[in-house]
Structures are given as C-alpha cells and as structure tokens.
Amino acid sequence: MALTFLARRPVLSSVLLGAAAACGFAPLQLWWLTIACFALWMLVVNDAPTLKAALWRGWSFGVGHFTINNNWFQHAFDFQDKMPSVLGYAAPLALALYLAVYPAIAAGLAWKMREDRPGAAFVLAFAGAWIGSEWLRSVVFTGYAWDPLGVIWVPVQPVAHVATLVGTYALSGLTMLLAGGLLLLPRRALPIGAAGGGLLALLGAQWMSYRGAVEPVAADHPVIRVVQPNVPQDERGESDGEMMLARLSELSGRPGRAPRLIVWPEGVIRDYLEDGYPAYAYATEPAFLRWRMARLLGPRDTLLTGGTALQFDSAGNAVTATNSVFAIDPAGRLGKERYDKAHLVPYGEYLPMPWLLKPLGLDRLVPGAFDFVEGPGPRALDVPGFGAVGVQICYEIIFSGQVVNGARRPRILFNPSNDAWFGKWGPPQHLAQARMRAIEEGLPIVRATPNGISAVIAADGTLLGTVPHEKAGAIEVPLPPAGAPTLFSKLGNWLAGIVMILLGGTAIAIRRRAR
C-alpha cells in the first residue's frame, strides 16, 4: 500500500518523506527514520518519467525537509520590532523554497542513471551528487550549511568518526549510499554488500584507534570554566546595567590553584570594551568595566568574552561594527588581538541587497544602526598558559573545513554563541554540528551561550559537560587534550571532492559496462 501511494502521489510523497527525514537530526535523533525516508525518496526519483519530474520530486523533498529542519528560524522574528513577528511563521518555508534547489540538483543528476528498478549505478550517482549539492549549499550566496545529512551520525560515534577521514559532506554521501543499498538488497547485490561490510570494519577500526589516541588529562591541568547566565533574548538589554554583570560574575567562580580560562557567551556584554572611542559611544567607562571583570580572575586566569567593536570615519562617526571576541587579563588589559567574526549571518547581522529589501519592509534581525562587517577569517588568539585558542563565533562553527587556520593549528576552539534566538530545536542542532567539527578537526571545542546549550566537547566529539537549555549554570573541567591532526584537518574538503568523483566515476563505469 505504501509503495502504491508513492507511485500515485510522488510529489506529495516526496514532501512527506522530506519532512519525516528531518526527524533524524537533533533533538529527535531518529537517524534510522532518516535513512528509511531517503531510501524511499530515491525510489520515487528513480521512477520519475522525465528529468523535469525528477527535479520536481527532488525540490518537493527539500521543501518538506528544510521546512521542518529549520522550524526554529521562526523564533528569531519574535525578538525584533522592525518587521511583523508573524513573518516568522513564513520564514522557514521561504528559506526551504530556496534550499530545496540543492536536493533537486542531486535528484536530477542521479536520474540520468535510472533503471526500471534502482541499480548500483543510480545509487552511486545519487551519493556522489548529494556530496556536491551539500558543498554547493555551503558556499553559494555565502552559504547555509546547517545540518548536512552526515550530522545524523553524531550520536553514533563509530560512524561519525568517518568524518576524521573524509569530512561531513563525504559522510553524507556515504549515508546516501547506505540508504540506496537498502533498495539493492532484493537484488542480492553482493559487491555492494561486501563494500558495506568492509566500510563498517573500517569505521570500527578508525573509531577504536582514534579513541585510543586521546590521552587522559592530568589532575593539575589548567581548567576551562564555561558560564551560562540563562538570559532570554528579550532580556539582553540588562547587560547595560548591573544585573547582567552580576549574573556573569556570580557564575564565574573563584580562582584556584590551576590557571583558568573563563569563557562568556556572545551577545551578553553590550558595553564597549576597547579604549579610544569618542565619548558619546560609552555608557560605561571601558577601563572600569574591564577592571570589574578582572576582579574575577586569579593571577594566571584569562577571560574570553563576546563583544562589539566599532569602526569610525574621519569625522568620528561610527560607521560599522564587528562581532568580536576579546581576551582580558588579570590586570584588566585587552589582549593584543581580538577575533572578528568572518562568516556573518545574512538577514541577521547584515541585509543583502538593502536597495531592494528595505523598501519592501525587510530589515536585519540583529538590532543596531548599521550592518556588521566581516573579519579576516579563522585565526587563533594567544592566551598565556593555554596556547593558541581558535575562535569561531556562533554560526561559523557549522561550516565544515572552514573553522581552523591551516597555517596555525590551535590548541582548542572557542565557540561563543547566542542561541537564544533559536527556539527548542535550534540549540541541540547547533551543538550537534559543533560536535562534528570537533571530530573532523581532532580538536576540543568549548561553547558558551546565554541560555543554552553550553558545552565542553572533547576532541572525539564526546560531551565532557553541558549546561542544559534555559538553565543558569557553569561547567569547570580540566582543559581537554587535542587529538592528533586528522586526515580531514590536513586536506579539508578536497577529500569530499575525491569521494564524490570516485562515486560518480564508478557509477559511469557500471552503466557503460552494462550497455
């Protein structure tokens, strides 16, 4: 009966399968359901009578999938007053109408290899095309890489660790290969089964060897303290007064024998920390504000906090801003360098095509008089006692292969974020993607958010500590060790391209041999 429905209502079936496939990601994590839905969708695409029909079925799948997966996007519109908040209910669908183009591309390319029944060439071509479509989604129009398919494996560590070899986009393609393999089982495709068995053995060996490479942490190691003040988005203005600093200070703890790296979230310190701005810019004297923060630190401690830096024209008018991270030492001095966010959020931190969109009543979701500008890209800050600390602010952590400066591998990555925009589904999805970056790069990651989910993530993706969503609290753990550089950390998404070419080339070879 189910197969009959797929055949009679292929477009509706594609929408429903895409929506159900979104349940494999956090917070539901029904990864087995995602694989089953992708397998059935591949069957629907294979049965399309024309290329146009295949593209339409691919796009319909994407509309269902991304509407459900990005449902958290609606909540961002509840915390601004420049646009009607009711627009938030249309926003996930509007975004999905665009994102669905990428599954349509993959479906159209795979359809060229179709048969009466799905064959090995079709499955291999679909897997390769999916890798290419996810990579394109991560770069076109500055990219939107949220929740690539491979992220469903984060709870299944042996499989997730394939990302240390080839990265998340290639893992997504191998997941498509697994889903398509289910369609080949009735044909007793021995070569595909043997390849699957060999792949599983490789996964297990890779996982065991990688876990064994991470050494235990010494008891007197420097410590990380992550602070989560539990500040809803509509209360962030309290940071201009005493209440926000009091919350952060109370949760920052007291100095101990080991040096501490205290990390505060993005978006909670609204006053400016840098000296040298015109007097009109300050609500609080920056030296006094830094002194109050420095009082929380022991002699070997450092505080990393999100903040905003302003840039001025020759007349002393503020013209642009950067979303930044600052280091503060026990003397209340700023570090020699700050990190400026490089991968900004379209429609959040800047408005694309303002000449077109502003007359239509659209604006940025982040308040302020002007757009943020981008920084130079991944870089590390030198923190005494902790070495090179890489920084990726909020949304930047979702971009596979773009989070580390290859010329200078950091000791740890700091990912301050403001997930207070993201409803119930966004924070666990964001955390899962940060865990995948830790696995890919072999680096521990520290996340600090205003109201969750804050976490310390080991280099193998394990959660060493979390503060739950919408709870105030702090985590203090020994500084996790970095793992050995992974193959992916050395070669990046060139590996995804290699896997894509191997899958596509094998599909072409099988088709030619059959003919």
pLDDT in tens, 323-355: 999 999 999 999 989 999 998 876 666 555 554
What is residue 238's predicted lDDT score, i.e. its pLDDT? 43
Edge-to-edge, what's the strand order for the sheet holding 302-312?
339-340, 318-328, 302-312, 260-263, 223-228, 473-478
Q: What token pair was written down for 483?
A: 């793992």
Output phi, psi for 58, to 5 deg.
-65, -45
Same domain, 196 and 272: no
Please indicate, yes or no, whether residues 465 and 508 belong to a single structural domain of this protein.
Answer: no
Computed over every residue of the chain, the mean pLDDT equals 87
Distances (CA, A) of 259 to 190, 264, 303, 337: 57, 16, 11, 21
What tokens appear for 510 in the block? 């099988």
Asked, for residue 233, whether it belongs to a domain, the answer is yes
- CATH of residue 306's domain is 3.60.110.10
445-448 and 260-263 beta bridge pairing: unpaired
Residues 342 and 291 in one domain: yes
SS3 221: coil
- 483, 215 Cβ separation under 8 angstroms: no
Q: How far is CA 401 from the centre of its chain?
A: 11
Closest CA to 431 of 402, 465, 404, 406: 465
CA atoms of 202 and 196, how far apart (whole Å): 10
Q: Is 154 helix (H, G, I), strand (E, B) or coil?
A: coil
Burial 199-232 (b: 16+ CB within 10 A, else e): eeeebeebbeebbeebeebeeeebbbbbbbbbbe
Residues of the chain with pLDDT under 70: 1-3, 5, 76-88, 186-219, 233-241, 346-370, 514-515
Nearest to 464 by CA among 453, 451, 448, 480: 480
Query: Are residue 143 and residue 107 in the same domain, yes or no?
Result: yes
Residues 229 and 206 placed together within one structural domain of the fold: no
Assigned domain for 487 exists: no
* Residue 350: predicted pLDDT: 55
- On whether both 67 and 191 belong to a single domain, the answer is yes
Contacts (Cβ under 8 Å, ≥6 apart) of 303 = 252, 262, 263, 264, 293, 294, 296, 297, 327, 328
Q: Which CA distances in Å does 344 have to 43, 52, 393, 489?
A: 38, 35, 9, 23
Q: Are residues 161 and 266 in the same domain?
A: no
89 domain-assigned: yes
Size of the chain in residues: 515
User: Is 401 part of any domain?
Assistant: yes
- Answer yes or no: do 294 and 151 share one domain: no
Number of domains within the chain:
2
As a whole number of angstroms, the distance between CA 248 and CA 472 comes to 10
Q: What is the pLDDT of residue 192?
A: 53
Q: Are residues 171 and 228 in the same domain?
A: no
Q: Report the alpha-carbon distance of residue 328 to residue 273 in Å, rounded.
A: 10
488 in a structural domain: no
208 and 227 in a common domain:
no
The answer to whether residue 56 is domain-embedded is yes
Judging by beta carbons within 10 Å of its beta carbon (0-12, 13-18, 19+), is residue 10 exposed, middle or buried? buried
Say if CB 406 and CB 223 are below 8 A apart. Answer: no
Residue 64: alpha-carbon gap to chain centroid:
21
Q: CB-based contacts of 443: which residues, under 8 Å, 6+ apart? A: 390, 404, 409, 410, 411, 412, 413, 437, 459, 482, 483, 489
Instruction: Show the 3-state SS of 255-317.
Output: CCCCCEEEECCCCCCCCCCCCCCCHHHCCCCHHHHHHHHHCCCCCCCEEEEEEEEEEECCCCC
Buried/exposed 371-397: b ≥16 CB within 10 Å, e otherwise: bbbbbeebbbbebeebeebbbbbbbbb
Q: Is the Cβ–Cβ distance between 416 and 195 less than 8 Å?
A: no
Residue 223 is inside which H or E element, if any?
Answer: strand 223-228
SS3 content of the chain, % helix, strand, coil (to 5): 50, 15, 35
- Same domain? For 508 and 444 the reply is no
The predicted structure's pLDDT at residue 497: 97
400 and 333 in one domain?
A: yes
Q: d(Cα 41, Cα 37) in Å, to the nearest integer?
A: 6
375 within a domain of the structure (yes/no) = yes
Residue-range definition of the domain harbouring residue 193: 2-213+493-514
pLDDT for residue 116: 78
Rounded to whole angstroms, the Cα distance separating 104 from 127 reads 13
